[in-house]
Amino acid sequence: MSETPVREDGLPGGGFLFNINFVFVTTLVSNTAGFFVAILLARALGPDGRGVTALYQAAVSLGYAFLSLGVGSAAFYFVARREISGRQAMEAGLSITLASAIISAIAVLIATVFFGDQLADKPMPFWLAIITVPAVIQLRLLESLLRAEGRFGAMNALELSLPLTMLLVLGGVELAVGLTVPRAVWAWSLAFLPSWLFGYLLVGTSFWPRGLAPLSLLLKSLRFGGQGQLANLIQLLNYRLDAFLILIFVNTAGVGLYSVATSQTEGLWIIANSVAIVLLTNITSGDADNAARVTPVVCRNTLLVTAAGALGAAFLAPIFISITFGTDYEGAVAPYLWLLPGTVALSGAKILAAYVFSRGRPIINAWIALATLIITIPTDILLIHLFGVTGAAMGASFGYCLSLVLTAIAYQRLSGNSILEALLPRPSDVVLYLDGLRSLLSRLHLVRRRAGDQPLGHP
């Protein structure tokens, strides 16, 4: 395994910062498309209708988390470390996907038998989960394989395809016949299929499965992936359980308000997610010294930039939410503001959790997520009872901060590095931003020179 060149500031060379910027720009475009999807659904359906669709989306997310069994995480880890081939990973993924379709169908059948009368009163095509959950599993598997191979261009193309497809499909339905809750669920669910097919084209035929995975490969994937997915599942409960608690203690309109607040604050994770994608590939395929050297530099600067973004968002939120989503969503402003501190904290936790995963210890992330969930649930219930939707945001923010504290302790134990080194910015970090600015100006100057060298009338 070739060593990655190291810069004087401690970051890897070899295109590390370029890949982060590349992923960042792609994620920004993707989030912008997702932002317009959120506006479209909110305005077309209203708080009640948006709350119902948000619950369906949360149910699909939970179905993916339970039924994927971490096959994407295992594929990324083992392919990045060259322990299995891409085709083997795809065969394991196909086996899990088929099993998830069968289990989803059984779950829908059980729901129909026991809750048929209640479901008949609601024109919700909930059975679409039989298609959507397997499609999501396949899509995330394909993204993991492209990332493991360091093919960030192809990964970015696949990442962009989903929100753009959703925007086109949902927008087309709204223009043609108008969005209702059932139509929105149909459009949202089927939008996964084109991206899934596109992903197969991107990975290439050499990765396409020739059959189901042998038992030994499945067990290898499930042993590792199960640990990682347990962490993801519990973290997802931390992210989405609030919506169901609000449904119980408030109403569907409250879920709609909270979904707007969370979707907008989670946009601040664009930096942390972009960095974590590239960082995880680098430190998983590298050695322990490289991971311990790079992670604190990346973590503290991710926290700094996210905090700056959150500060600006706090000033703009009261005007931005009302203008963008309408006056019906003014109740989302207070939850939005309360979510910001936790959003910043979790941006750092994401980076440190990537380090823990890269050392082959995803079960530690699972235990941290479980501890956070156990403490957060009663806190959420109490705060929602006292303050409604805003209380849910308070509880979520507290849970995110707790996650950072626990993950930082795990990082210190595994790396031997100081926690403060990973969390607090240093004056020497200014070099990172100056280098980035110089690199940007240099690229712009090169573009202008090339444009100036073109003869007049050049096509």
Q: What is this structure's pTM?
A: 0.71
Instruction: Let me know: does 306 contact 344? Beta carbons within 8 Å.
Output: yes
Quote the pLDDT of residue 11. Answer: 52
- pLDDT score of 65: 83
Supply 317's token pair: 């939120």
**∠ CA(360), CA(224), CA(276), 5° rounding?**
50
Torsion of CA 411, 343, 191, 130, to 10 degrees: 60
Is residue 241 over pLDDT 90? no
| Long-range contacts of 79-85, Cβ-Cβ distance < 8 Å, separation of 24 or more | 79/144, 79/145, 79/148, 79/149, 80/147, 80/148, 80/281, 80/284, 80/285, 81/284, 81/285, 82/1, 84/217, 84/220
Q: Which residue segment(s) compose the domain that 62 sits in?
A: 16-441
Count of the separate structural domains present in the chain: 1
- Report the range out of 28-37, 212-221, 446-455 with the highest average pLDDT: 212-221
Q: Cβ distance 312 to 437 under 8 Å?
A: no
- Nearest C-alpha neighbor of 373 from the set 231, 227, 235, 229: 235
pLDDT beyond 60 at 456: no
- 9 part of a folded domain: no
Q: How confident is the model at residue 453 (pLDDT cuts 50, 70, 90)?
A: low
pLDDT score, position 194:
93
Of the pLDDT bands very low, low, confident and very high (cuts 50, 70, 90), residue 339 is very high
Q: Would you say 362 and 356 are in contact if contact means Cβ atoms under 8 Å apart?
A: yes
Instruction: Note the pLDDT of residue 80.
Output: 87
235 in a structural domain:
yes
Is residue 251 assigned to a domain? yes
Q: Do residues 278 and 335 touch, judged by C-beta distance below 8 A?
A: no
Q: Please give the single-letter amino acid code of residue 239.
A: Y
Taking residues 205-216, what's their average pLDDT? 93
Question: How far apart, in whole angstroms, are the C-alpha atoms of residue 171 and residue 184?
Answer: 10
Model pLDDT, residue 57: 86
Mean pLDDT of 204-221: 92
% of the chain beyond a pLDDT of 70? 88
Q: What average pLDDT does this structure show over 66-80?
A: 89
Q: Which residues contact 155 (CB under 8 A, 6 or more apart)?
A: 23, 143, 146, 147, 277
- What's phi and psi for 12, nearest 5 deg? -70, 150
Q: Tell me, yes or no, whether 456 lies in a domain.
A: no
Question: Looking at residue 68, what DSSP letter applies?
Answer: S
Mean pLDDT confidence for 322-331: 86
Tell me, what DSSP letter sits at residue 455? P
Tell whether 458 is covered by a domain.
Answer: no
User: Mean pLDDT over residues 193-202, rounded?
Assistant: 94
Residue 57 counted as domain residue = yes
pLDDT score for 121: 61
**pLDDT category of residue 458 using cuts at 50, 70 and 90:** very low
- Taking residues 267-283, what's their average pLDDT? 80
What gap in Å lies between CA 115 and CA 104, rounded to an integer? 16
Which range (270-284, 291-305, 388-402) has the least confidence? Answer: 270-284
Which residue has 């519990």 as its token pair? 234
Q: Is the pLDDT of residue 100 over 80?
A: yes
**CB-based contacts of 324, cutoff 8 Å, min separation 6:** 39
- Token pair recorded at residue 213: 């995975």
pLDDT of residue 459: 37
Residue 446's Cα: distance from chain center in Å?
A: 34
What's the mean pLDDT in 82-105? 93
Residue 258 burial (CB < 10 Å; 0-12/13-18/19+)? buried
Of 179, 166, 174, 190, which Cα lies nearest the Cα of 52?
A: 179
Are the beta carbons of 194 and 137 closer than 8 angstroms? no
Give me the pLDDT at residue 117, please.
Answer: 64
Q: What count of residues does the chain have?
A: 459
Cross-strand bridge partners of residue 6: 12
Give every CB contact of residue 103 below 8 A, 6+ residues apart in sequence: 67
Compute the average pLDDT of residues 317-327: 87
360-387: per-residue pLDDT in tens?
A: 888 898 899 999 999 999 999 999 999 9
Which of these, 268, 278, 305, lies nearest to 17 by C-alpha position? 278
4 is a domain residue: no
Tell me the pLDDT band of 53, cut-offs 50, 70 and 90. confident
Residue 451: inside a domain, yes or no? no
Whether the pLDDT of residue 278 is over 70: the answer is yes
Q: Cα(first)–Cα(last) distance of the chain, in Å?
A: 44
Confidence at residue 345, expressed as pLDDT on a 0 to 100 scale = 96
Predicted pLDDT of residue 184: 92
CB 299 within 8 A of CB 168: no
Residue 6: DSSP 8-state: B
Average pLDDT over residues 267-280: 82
The per-residue pLDDT for range 387-422, each reduced to its tens digit, is 999 999 999 999 999 999 999 999 999 998 999 999
Looking at the chain, the whole-number percentage of residues with pLDDT higher than 90 is 43
88 vs 116: which has the higher pLDDT: 88
Question: Picking from 164-173, 289-298, 305-314, 390-399, which range would have the lowest pLDDT averaged per residue?
Answer: 289-298
Confidence of residue 7 (pLDDT cuts 50, 70, 90): very low
What does the mean pLDDT of the chain come to?
85
Q: What is the pLDDT of residues 110-159, one digit of tens each?
A: 877 776 665 566 667 888 889 999 999 999 999 999 988 888 889 889 98
* 312/334 Cα distance (integer angstroms): 15
Q: Range with the lowest mean pLDDT among 22-31, 189-198, 414-423, 439-448?
A: 439-448
Is pLDDT at 250 greater than 70 in this prediction? yes
